[in-house]
Amino acid sequence: MTDQDQPPPPDTTNNNETTKLETNNEPEPENEPSSTIASQDGKLYDTIDQFISMLGSNDHQPDSCSPPEIIDSVKNYADLYDVKIVEYETGSKKWIHLEENESDSFIESVDRTAKLLKSLSTFHADENYAVLINRVSGIQQRAMSFMEVEFKSILDDFTTSN
């Protein structure tokens, strides 16, 4: 086994909340195909759900304490979500041609992202959170616009066929 194949040493910092939630510490290659990224969705979604729960359960008061560190998985989720939206926006995927599990996954991502934005907004005054909120909400807006156009198209097709 070479040095490159060995996992990174464990984090010895005292970020219990962060280290407890990070399940995928390895950086993802930049040119990785979306199908490979999609195979990691389950673990990533679970980590995001845990982060959302942690933000909601700790009753953080933005003025009284510093916000928890944003875990890398949140940024990875934003990247993955952005890739999915680009696939839909470019027309390489149309709603009507999606498999049921793909459309369900897309709607779950929209819902999960709304919950994430609501949880992150507690710390909107923190610069790191503000940047992330801005990025994720931009992606969310694009997802909602895509859904609006696709659903309108479905309704138009239905009304013209009757």
Within-domain flag for 39: no
Within-domain flag for 94: yes
11: helix, strand or coil: coil
What integer pLDDT is reported at residue 14 of this predicted model? 41
Within-domain flag for 11: no
Alpha carbon distance, N-terminus to C-terminus of the chain: 65
What integer pLDDT is reported at residue 50 of this predicted model? 93
Q: Which two tokens stand for residue 111?
A: 């819902």
Within-domain flag for 161: yes
Within-domain flag for 120: yes
Within-domain flag for 145: yes
User: Alpha helix locations (H) across the chain?
Assistant: 16-21, 34-38, 41-57, 72-89, 100-120, 127-161
pLDDT at position 36 over 70: no
pLDDT in tens, 92-127: 777 777 888 888 888 999 999 999 999 999 999 999
Return the residue matching tokens 């097709």.
157
Range of the domain at 100: 70-162
Within-domain flag for 132: yes
Within-domain flag for 33: no
pLDDT at position 20 over 50: no
Name the domain count of the chain: 1
What integer pLDDT is reported at residue 59 of this predicted model? 56
